[in-house]
Amino acid sequence: MHDLVVRGGAVIDGTGAPRRQADVAIDAGRITAIGRDLGPARRTLDAAGMVVAPGFIDVHTHLDVQGFWDTALTPSPLHGVTTVIAGNCGFSVAPLNPAAAAYLLPMLARVEGMPAESLETGVPWDWTTTEEYLDRFDGVLALNSGFMVGHSAIRRVVMGEAATERAATPDELERMCELLRDGIRAGGLGFSSSWSVVHNDAGGGPVPSRYAAAEELVALAAVCGEFPGTSLEFVAGQGPWAEHLQQVMVDMTVAAKRPLNWNVIAGSASGLSVVREQLALSDVARARGGKMVGLVVPYVSEARLCFRGGFLLDSIPGWGEAMTAPPAEKLALLADPESRARLGKLAADSTGRGGLVNWGEKRVLQTFAPETKQYEGRKIDEIAKTEGKTPFDALIDIVVADELRTSFSYGDAQDTRADWEARRELWLDPRTIVGGADTGAHLDMLSTFSFATDLLSLGVREHNLITTEEAVRLLTSEPAALYGMVDRGTLREGAAADIVVFDEATVGHDAVRLKFDLPGGAGRLYSEGVGIAYVLVNGELIAEHGELTQARSGVVLRAGRDTITPDMR
């Protein structure tokens, strides 16, 4: 008798092969049979009329600390995700020491939009090694979770304050390499770093990895080549890329003999020519024995702004101190006519921030006070004219009444058919991987955690750009292969039973809203998946018809045990 059988569904196995009607039997966390008449089971899940597929894989998250307060890693499992990779962009939280923790906490609040109050009250910050950190999550999480070892963390531990002042000495570089070796021996999946000009710390200066010389990046990348099952991840920033940036990326993958996953690509018709030039560097790397794969976002969802978190708003010249102040202090500043006028003038005088400070173009998306409900869905310009106010005052009056919680648009984006065709080209390019969800970061700004259900609802059903079989392949076997994941990403006998059952006709996500459920009372954008019937991780049901179970069956993926060296072809 089987532990569990998923009966009556259309099995899409993740390889791109056509679907077939079959049942799936599971025993001891593994798929033991796929076919008809598989015999009795202790539990049966009815998948009639639905697709049975491998669980979706999110390769670019910042879920490094969320597991301390949310072991389900929501809302990812509600969108069919069963495996995540964190520690990206060089922003891991291990290795660690007290001085590094004091730096990394505000850095993450600034660069990744994680509320400082949540990091302060929800995270213990009491480990030292990567091994100690990874051990915290064994047997604790709902999802399979792998962690890269981040450059900025390594650099800060080794160099202290000098990490954001200068290049490393040979001795410091060797100590960094040793810390990376220790992290990979403990199970870290590889090395991540960033040279992106938008990655700045709490003081507004470049994060530690941006001070690294090319030789440092290449030496650290080469450490990954000493261990099986490792990979590289690098944030290059928006193109066109300078020649020295192109050179270091190629040198990193060649030195490591490991794939380099660079990010991020937001597909659009207007930016397609630049992205094609970037992807051409993959051909240069391949000719030298390397491999470069660009991370493409399936859909560019609407960015939101919120004064409570203040992410992006803190980049307005002169606003940094106010936007990083505690909520009560920030609210007092915005309520005070004199302080408000000063902030308004600073915004009006700023250059290069036109889209950000064009207050009249903003649209109110969600409000929280009874008297502000009337403004939901309306543009600030229209509200200001009706009430005889400036657009800035009209917006701030709503924000103050909502005690900073108002969610409003960055601007109204309009996608064209050409944009969707450009995305299709990029999704299917063998030099790309679909992802870029940034789950766990920019919590009150982005809702890209729904990347998988977006691809299925928009890319497949609404715009008819690819088939469900193609979408499932892009979300499962492709990312699993890039990171060398063992027995994940496809439905086959012997594979881990990471499975999602969904309804093609309805799959998508619920309305996005701000939910104030983080430690310290901070908010995050949130939405549940729609049409996701069952989600299983290692054979255990972790979500059923939109409701989480108590199962926490995810494993910490460790390099060399749960991964093999990825294919470099």
Q: State the pLDDT confidence band at 456, using cuts at 50, 70 and 90.
A: very high
Poorest-pLDDT segment among 256-270, 302-316, 544-558: 302-316
Q: What is the pLDDT of residues 88-116, one digit of tens each?
A: 999 999 999 999 999 999 999 989 999 99
Instruction: Give the three-state DSSP class for 261.
Output: strand
Q: Which residues pair with 434 in a beta bridge?
A: 296
Mean pLDDT of 419-435: 97
CATH number of the 60-302+414-437 domain: 3.20.20.140
CA-CA-CA-CA torsion for 101, 106, 111, 117, nearest 10 degrees?
110
| pLDDT over 90 at 434, yes or no | yes
Helix (H) or strand (E) holding 34: strand 30-35
- Which residues are CB-contacts of 374 (< 8 A; sequence separation ≥ 6)? none
Question: pLDDT tens digit string along 1-49?
Answer: 999 999 999 999 999 999 999 999 999 999 999 999 999 999 999 999 9
Element (H, E) at 506: none
Asked if 207 contacts 90 with a C-beta cutoff of 8 angstroms, the reply is yes
pTM over 0.85: yes
pLDDT band at residue 237 under the 50/70/90 scheme: confident
User: Which stretch of 349-358, 387-396, 414-423 has the lowest confidence by average pLDDT?
Assistant: 349-358
What is the reported pLDDT for 353?
62
Please give the backbone phi and psi of residue 508, each rounded to the nearest 5 degrees, phi first. 170, -150
154 is written with which tokens?
């390594």
Average pLDDT over the chain, rounded to an integer = 96
Give 354's pLDDT tier (boundaries 50, 70, 90).
low
Q: Where are the domains of the chain?
A: 60-302+414-437, 308-409
User: CA dihedral defined by 88, 91, 95, 99, rounded to 10 degrees?
Assistant: 180
83-109 exposure pattern, b = at least 16 Cβ within 10 A, e = fewer: bbbbbbbbbbbbbbeeebbebbbbbbb
Report CA Rg, the chain: 23
**Which pLDDT belongs to residue 352?**
65
Let me know if 505 is exposed, middle or buried by CB neighbors in 10 A (0-12, 13-18, 19+): exposed
138-177: per-residue pLDDT in tens?
Answer: 999 999 999 999 999 999 999 999 999 999 999 999 999 9
Per-residue confidence (pLDDT) for residue 324, from 0 to 100: 84
Instruction: Provide the 3-class DSSP secondary structure of residue 9.
Output: strand
Q: What is the mean pLDDT of residues 49-70?
A: 98
Query: For residue 227, is pLDDT > 80?
Result: yes
At 183, the pLDDT band (50, 70, 90 cuts) reads: very high
Residue 558's contacts (CB-CB under 8 Å, 6 or more residues apart) are: 134, 146, 186, 187, 189
Cα–Cα distance measured from residue 496 to residue 57, given in angstroms and rounded to the nearest whole number: 13
Query: With 80 as the cut, is the pLDDT of residue 301 above it?
Result: no
Q: Give the pLDDT band of residue 515 (cuts 50, 70, 90).
A: very high
User: From CA 235, how far away is CA 278, in angstroms rounded?
Assistant: 13
Share of residues in the chain with pLDDT > 70 (%): 99
Q: Tell me the average pLDDT across 298-313.
A: 86
* pLDDT tens digits, one per residue of 462-485: 999 999 999 999 999 999 999 999
Q: What is the pLDDT of residue 57?
A: 98
